[in-house]
Chains A and B, each alone.
Chain A
Amino acid sequence: GAGVSQSPSNKVTEKGKDVELRCDPISGHTALYWYRQSLGQGLEFLIYFQGNSAPDKSGLPSDRFSAERTGGSVSTLTIQRTQQEDSAVYLCASSFDRGGETQYFGPGTRLLVL
């Protein structure tokens, strides 16, 4: 079946602009995660959605970052007033359930803030 898809694959923006990144999880997966990966680094947790529960936003680095998940499926990560330090690969993952279930990752969105 289809895996996790993300769009756009690459995004170049100017400092101060807003960007939206999209994630389509694997069909039937109830949990969705966003991570950020800076160049040559490991993955940093950002936010987690599980069903209709309130999202875990504990990893969001600032209030410029927000995310939503509509209809329990597609998710959008929004970064407002982008800064150069926001440049990174933003990865989305989904799993059947939370906690101890395999997370499957999408290809990521490479964001470059000039």
Chain B
Amino acid sequence: GESVGLHLPTLSVQEGDNSIINCAYSNSASDYFIWYKQESGKGPQFIIDIRSNMDKRQGQRVTVLLNKTVKHLSLQIAATQPGDSAVYFCAESLPGNTGKLIFGQGTTLQVKP
């Protein structure tokens, strides 16, 4: 069935290093992808999104890369900070869909000071 999965459940990085969180999606027809950050006890917070007609999109300290050939999505965080510690979810949306998002299980990012 349709699913979005994450390669690693937990990622531990040193403060100041760059982080890369990976995501595999199963439906090649998906045309919209989004990354959320969820801190403990809070709702998911939008980080960055990308549409299928793009390969890369940059934000302030984040970059999302989309490889449609292998159905892979990644989130790169530059100069990781303690405040980046959270669970990160990728999600996909299918065209012609109601817009509902299909979420992966999440990757926990731990930033060591």
Q: How many residues of B contact A (CB 8 A)?
A: 26
Query: Interface 1/0s, chain A 33-75, versus B by CB < 8 A?
Result: 1010000011111001010000010010000000000000000
Residues of B within 8 A of A50 (CB): 98-99
Residues of B within 8 A of A102 (CB): 34, 46, 49
Contact of A56 among B34, B42, B95, B100 (CB under 8 A): B100
Contact of A45 among B49, B95, B102, B106 (CB under 8 A): B102
Contact of B99 among A31, A42, A106 (CB under 8 A): A31
B93 at interface, CB cutoff 8 A: yes
Which candidate, A12-20, A79-87, A93-101, is the interface stretch facing chain B?
A: A93-101
Query: Do B98 and A91 touch (CB < 8 A)?
Result: no
Residues of B within 8 A of A44 (CB): 103
Query: Do A99 and B103 touch (CB < 8 A)?
Result: no
B45 at interface, CB cutoff 8 A: yes
Q: Sort chain A's interface into a size bin.
A: 20 to 34
Nearest CB in chain B: distance from A28 CB, A: 16
On whether A99 and B99 interact (CB within 8 A), knowing A42-B106, A91-B43, A106-B43, the answer reads yes
B44 at interface, CB cutoff 8 A: yes
Cα A100 to Cα B101 with chains together (Å): 9
Contact of B103 among A43, A100, A101 (CB under 8 A): A43
Query: Interface 1/0s, chain B 65-102, versus A by CB < 8 A?
Result: 00000000000000000000000010101011111111
- A residues at B contact (CB < 8 Å): 4, 31, 33, 35, 41-45, 48, 50, 56, 59, 91, 95, 97-108
Question: Can you list 14 A-B pairs, Cβ within 8 angstroms, ordered by A?
Answer: A4-B43, A31-B99, A33-B100, A43-B89, A45-B100, A56-B100, A95-B99, A98-B98, A99-B99, A100-B95, A102-B46, A103-B99, A104-B46, A107-B42
- B residues at A contact (CB < 8 Å): 31-32, 34, 36, 42-46, 49, 51, 89, 91, 93, 95-106
* Contacts A100-B31, A102-B46, A106-B43 known; 16 new A-B pairs at CB < 8 A: A4-B43, A33-B101, A42-B103, A42-B106, A43-B44, A43-B89, A48-B98, A91-B43, A98-B97, A102-B34, A103-B46, A103-B99, A103-B101, A105-B44, A107-B43, A108-B43
